[in-house]
Structure 1
Amino acid sequence: MPQSILAEGEERTLRPGARTPSRRLALASLSFAILLSSLATSIANVALPSLAEAFAASFQQVQWVVLAYLLAITILVVGVGRIGDVVGRRRLLLAGIMLFTIASAACGVAPSLPLLIAVRAVQGLGAAIMMALGMALVGETVAKEKTGSAMGLLGTMSAIGTALGPSLGGLLLAAFDWRAIFLVNVPLGLLAFLLAHRSLAADRPVTGRTGFDLPGTLLLGLALAAYALAMTATRGSFGLVNFALVAGALAAAALFVFAERKSASPLIQLEMFRHRLLGAGLAMNALVSTVMMATLVVGPFYLSRALGLEDSIVGMVMSAGPIIAAVSGVPAGRLVDRFGAPLIVSLGLAAIAAGAFGLSLLPGLFGVAGYIAAIAVLTPGYQLFQAANSTVVMIDVQPGQRGVVSGMLNLSRNLGLVTGASVMGAIFAFASAAPDIATAPADAVATGMKATFAVAGVLIAGALVIALWSRAPARASRRREVIR
């Protein structure tokens, strides 16, 4: 990545006599933090019917137990990444793990739904810290040539957390009640805290500018909150409220850009976006996340309504993706280290595009077997892309910017997820041409499935064009060297 996008001369040196913890143990602690944040996302979904019954609330009301967590991460992940750059990443990561643990306990004893939603947002703040700084600390934990393998491991742990959530949540609900799905995070959080405290090297002194941009942080948070609410608040419909929120997001974003240009210590150095690798990496990450969310939103409807599968079988088929992701993450990282991140980015995107077009065509021809075959192509492609793209974005970032760049990478992923849940869901409903997708006939749902993943394939083709465009200067430079 070009040197000019990196932070101004920040240099850190180890304190005299500081111990050097095991790199493997340190990487394990970061992986465990990522697993916990993913587990807390997926484990709550399975409890929504129980929460609706326990609090005598509607499904739309209890959905905010999930949304509050996701919105908190989306709004805060860049800001907490920058705070970690300023105050010390190890220190803030430990605080985030402890905050996550305390909030989990508060969720488990919440006496009312509004209070549960509030503490879930606090839990999301802890998860945002864990996500942003877990990735940022990789650069201080592993050698540069092993970055791809480390990113692949983090992707594997995220997939394991996502896959484990529904099954673990179901077991806890069967044995206890909804409170157990939150309380289980308490011992796991304490274990994560002790592991990170023991294994991560102490924060090192920072020289150079370390100011924190509070106005920029607040404006960015306001813009992201308005956008995320516009995409999620009305659950698929798009009316005046949504347009007003989008307008508010654009206004806050414009003010944020103005504030950053005037700030002595900006939250995000806008000059970063002039460089192809970072801008392309964030754009591709958002597009890929949009498509991956479509599999989670559209897949269950297609399997149950078009193919007529029972709920238990739908769950088994849907678990194929996370299981494949868990198995393919580490090998994907090793391929990045061996063949280089730029090549693997393109290969991963090509596989995702093939899988998306496969989801548009194969299930209609071969039923469940066609669906699983397409997922078996798409998911390893996603793991290849994630490991390679994270490596490209993070590998040459200087210490003073690792937190904020990691936060931006997580932010682009989350924006893709909320956009995918709304926009891809709307495409599915529109293409199905049914008043209520939950009661739509099988052929209408099948038509919606074909159209949605045809659009998804086109989006990934666009991401592949971005990947090739971002590598053009490097290829031109190599040609000039050959000519000389």
Structure 2
Amino acid sequence: MSGRSTRWAVFSLALSSLLAALGTSIANVALPNLALVFHTSFQQIQWVLLAYLLAITSVIVSIGSLGDLLGRRRLLLTGLALFTLASGLCASASSLGLLIFSRALQGLAAAVMMALSMALVAETVPKEKSGSAMGLLGSMSALGTALGPSLGGLLLAQFGWQALFWVQMPLGFLSLLLATRFLPLDGTRLKTDSTQFDPLGSLLLALTLGSFSLAMTIGRGNFGVSNVALLLLSLVGLQLFIQAERKARSPLLRLALFRDYRLSAGLTMSSLVSSVVMASLVIGPFYLSGALDLDITTVGLVMACGPIVAALVGVPAGSLVDRYGTQSISVAGLLFMGTGCLAMVLLPIALGVPAYLLSLAFITAGYAAFQAANNTAVMARARAEQSGLISGMLNLSRNLGLIIGASLMAAVFAFGAATQNLLLATPAALVRGLHMSFAFATALIFIALLIACVSHALRKK
């Protein structure tokens, strides 16, 4: 490929990464508005976000194997086409059910775009330039996450909620055109045991996560018999998933790897901290608009500050990891997150937006530092032939945390507010909900710190 064609190919992959990240964050700011439009509860409207996350989490580990079977370029083009179509379906949805279904389709496509964009860099870019190309993809993904709330707030205020999805269609179509034109054709691939797809594992994972999410979101804040039944169903699903993975020829998760306590610790901590960050993205719109009485444009701008801080801290944090080691920066990041969560609980509401921004900055800066250190530590445990698998497990653990944050943490928020309709909740009730949810988040960060310390002690021994 010529230099010009390579640059355009990389741009198409970077745009794919941006779109997948944008899909995660752009709808969050609209959750209160969507609850009004569709005359539904906070618990039900969460599924606009959960459907997207569940779809990604259920298949993202399998996408690499599917790409080997079907061709990475072909599968990426299919994903881009599906994402573009699903964006249009979201924008034209006439009911909440149709919107949730369309968001699930968007999530399936986003999983393809996330997983294959990085894989295709190695086939497209010369080895000596792959680092800068990977950096561009990471920056575009961070930009998409940061752009979502601010762009979503502006579009929602000016054009209505449909504009949040209409805007993704031309971007998806542009990425599809560029990828079709400039990505190299798929070569012949050898089919090995590692390129087998695990449909049963993917299905059981989706059913398990779906049951857990339903248990956390039905009942309008009241935890009753149906919630308990769904929670038990998710535990049964987890057991069936583990049994299926033990017997699968090419499992989603190689359970034997969890015998490495440092790998297990890293993946567990990744889930815990991701749940805290996602909680701020779900709870934020309701608290900022309901308790602080901000207009939707300002809500979007305030929410965008968190991802922006994380993007700015990410690169320096990587340098600090190289200088001081993974353990020190992991613990420092967790301490920053814990400080931010405590500030959410203790700072008085009279301080308003500045207090919220300060707390959010500590949480997201700590998250960026922790992720840089933890990802480095986890990947250092992987042999060359396991790097793709370990990377997939990191993605899975992060997405599991996002689902926990969007369901369990949001349920704690609704319980703390002690109301069946958050749209009608008083500012005092929303403040109680915020305090309870971030007190719970502080406990999760403390557990992560405990895991980090125990893991370090075992390593020294």
TM-score bracket for the superposition, by shorter chain length = 0.7 to 0.9
Compute the displacement of 1:283 (Å). 0.8
Q: Is 1:289 equivalent to 2:270 in the alignment?
A: no
In 2, are the aligned partners of 1:297 and 1:425 still within 8 Å (CA)? Answer: yes
Give 3-state SS (helix, strand or coil) of 2:251's partner. coil
- 1:437–1:266 distance in 2 versus 1, CA, 3 Å: closer
Return the offset for 1:36: 0.5
Q: Tell which deviates more after alignment, 404-413 or 172-181.
A: 172-181
CA apart distance, 1:66: 3.8
The aligned residue for residue 265 of structure 1 is: 250
Is residue 122 from structure 1 mapped to residue 96 from structure 2 by the alignment? Answer: no
- Show the counterpart of 1:353: 338
1:58 maps to which residue? Answer: 39
Report the CA distance between 1:237 and its aligned residue: 3.4
Question: 1:231 touches 1:418 (CA, 8 Å); kept in 2?
Answer: no
AA matched with 1:102: L
Identity %: 52
Deviations 1:357-382 (A, max 9, x none): 22222345744333222222221111
Aligned partners of 2:412 and 2:433 also within 8 Å: yes
* 8 Å Cα contact 1:348-1:385 kept in structure 2: yes
8 Å CA contact 1:151, 1:390 repeated in 2: no
Take 2:93 and 2:429, find their aligned partners in 1: how far apart are those partners? Answer: 42
Compare 360-369 and 322-331 and name the one that shifted more. Answer: 360-369
Q: Deviations over 1:129-148 (max 9, x none)?
A: 2223345667887989997x
Aligned residue for 1:212, secondary structure, equals coil
Partner of 1:392: 377
Structure 1 residues 92 and 216 mapped into 2: Cα distance closer, same or farther (>3 Å)?
A: same
| Aligned residues of 1:21 and 1:199 also touching (Cα < 8 A) | no
Shift in alpha-carbon separation, 1:466–1:314, aligned structure 2, 3 A: same
CA shift at 1:165, angstroms?
Answer: 2.4
Q: Which amino acid in structure 1 is aligned with residue 193 of structure 2? A: R
Question: How much does 1:287 deviate?
Answer: 0.6
1:270 offset after TM fit, Å?
0.9
> Paired residue for 1:132?
115
Pairing partner for 2:263 from 265, 271, 278: 278
1:85-484 pair list within 5 angstroms? 86-87=69-70, 89-108=72-91, 114-134=97-117, 156-173=139-156, 178-196=161-179, 198=182, 205-206=189-190, 208-210=192-194, 211-234=196-219, 236-304=221-289, 306-307=291-292, 309=294, 312-363=297-348, 366-394=351-379, 397=382, 401-402=386-387, 404-432=389-417, 438-472=423-457, 474-476=459-461
Residue 62 of structure 2: SS of its match in structure 1? helix
Letter in 1 for 2:59: L
- Cα–Cα, structure 1 residues 132 and 401, in superposed 2: closer, same or farther, change >3 Å? farther
CA RMSD of aligned residues (A): 4.0
Unpaired runs of 5+ residues, structure 1, are 1-17, 477-484
Secondary structure of the residue aligned to 1:345 is helix
Q: 1:33 aligns with which of 11, 16, 30?
A: 16
Rounded to whole Å, the distance in 2 between the matches of 1:467 and 1:139 is 33
Q: Does 1:78 align with 2:64?
A: no
**Shift in alpha-carbon separation, 1:343–1:97, aligned structure 2, 3 A:** farther
Identify the range of structure 1 (336-345 vs 410-419) with the bigger mean alpha-carbon deviation. 336-345
Distance 2:372 2:280 in 1: 20
Q: Which amino acid aligns with 1:58?
A: H
* Mapped contact 1:35–1:160 kept (Cα < 8 A): yes
Do the aligned partners of 2:150 and 2:301 also contact (CA within 8 Å) in 1?
no
Maintained 8 Å contact 1:156/1:327 = no
C-alpha offsets along residues 137-194 of structure 1, whole Å, 9 cap, x if unaligned? 67887989997x9887656434422332243345445665654432322332233345
In the alignment, the residues of structure 1 paired with residue 161 and residue 209 of structure 2 have an alpha-carbon distance, to the nearest angstrom, of 30
TM-score (norm 1): 0.78
Separation of aligned partners in 2, 1:388 and 1:142: 27
Amino acid at match of 1:348: G
- The Cα of 1:430 is off from its aligned counterpart by 4.1
Choose the corresponding residue for 1:68, options 48, 51, 70.
51
Report the secondary structure of 1:58's partner residue: coil
Paired with 1:133 and 1:394, the residues of 2 have a C-alpha distance of: 19
CA contact (8 A) 1:432 1:447 kept: yes
* Number of residue-to-residue matches in the alignment: 456
Instruction: Give the corresponding residue for 1:479.
Output: none
Q: Is the 8 A contact 1:223 1:248 kept in 2?
A: yes
Distance 2:247 2:428 in 1: 56
User: Deviations for 1:329-361, whole angstroms, at most 9, x for unmatched residues?
Assistant: 333344445554444323222211222122222
Aligned mates of 1:421, 1:129 — CA distance in 2: 22
C-alpha separation between the residues in 1 aligned to 2:225 and 2:126? Answer: 49
Whether the 8 Å CA contact 1:34–1:134 is kept in 2: the answer is yes
**More deviation in 239-248 or 157-166?**
157-166
1:235/1:422 contact within 8 Å kept: no
8 A Cα contact 1:135 1:406, kept in partner: no
1:261, CA displacement in angstroms? 1.9
Q: Residues of 2 paired with 1:365 and 1:48: CA distance?
A: 25
Distance (Å, rounded) in 2 between the aligned partners of 1:257 and 1:457: 30
Distance change in 2, residues 1:262/1:435 (3 Å): closer
Whether the 8 Å contact between 1:297 and 1:421 is mirrored in structure 2 is yes
Amino acid at match of 2:26: I
Distance 1:262 1:237 in 2: 39
Runs of at least 5 residues in structure 2 that lack an aligned partner in the other structure? none
In structure 2, relative to structure 1, the CA distance for the partners of 1:223 and 1:19 (3 Å cut) is farther
Alpha-carbon separation, structure 1, partners of 2:151 and 2:163? 10
**C-alpha distance in 2 between matches for 1:111 and 1:447:** 34
Pair 212,436 (structure 1): closer, same or farther in 2 beyond 3 Å: closer
For the 8 Å contact 1:82–1:404, the answer to whether it is kept is no
SS at 1:59's partner residue? coil
- Once the 2 structures are TM-superposed, how far is the Cα of residue 259 of structure 1 from its aligned partner? 2.1
C-alpha distance 191-438 of structure 1, shift in aligned 2 (>3 A)? closer
Deviates more, 1:248-257 or 1:167-176: 167-176
- The amino acid across from 2:342 in the alignment is F
What amino acid maps onto 1:164 in structure 2? Answer: L
Higher relative contact order (CA 8 A, sep 6+): 1
C-alpha separation in 2, matches of 1:109 and 1:312: 23
CA distance in 1, matches of 2:392, 2:401: 14
